[in-house]
Amino acid sequence: MAPIMAQASERRGLHRRGIAVEGELCSIRLGRSSCAVVDLSPTGCRVIRTPRLAPEDRVMLRLPSFAPRGARVAWWRDGIAGLEFGTPLGTAVVDHIVARHGTRD
């Protein structure tokens, strides 16, 4: 693994798993917006088709059949954002989402 990728992986904390699921982002500043979640770990996810977000923005992520989850925007670029959950997801929850919506990594 290249040093830069290793550093990013260490900062992220846990391996992300590929998924494909429609969701919704909600924030006081932006209101509601549809998005798609494309990878997931207990500590965060990557979403695409997002409105312009700023690092440190607070959002709620809604996924089908799950309670909304609070998250902090870690980064945003060209409609893609990295979110860090305020409270990590349990391993069983991640496994359930991946079982229903997972893609081949």
Average pLDDT along the chain: 88
Q: What domains can be seen in the chain, in order of their start residue?
A: 16-101 (2.40.10.220)
Query: For position 14, what pLDDT does the model report?
Result: 65
Global confidence as pTM: 0.84
- Rg of the chain taking only CA atoms, in angstroms: 13
pLDDT over threshold 70, residue 9: no
Question: Per the structure block, which two tokens stand in for 17?
Answer: 């798993």
Q: What is the pLDDT of residues 10-58, one digit of tens each?
A: 455 568 899 999 999 999 988 999 999 999 999 999 999 999 999 999 9
Give me the helices (H) in the chain, please.
3-12, 91-101
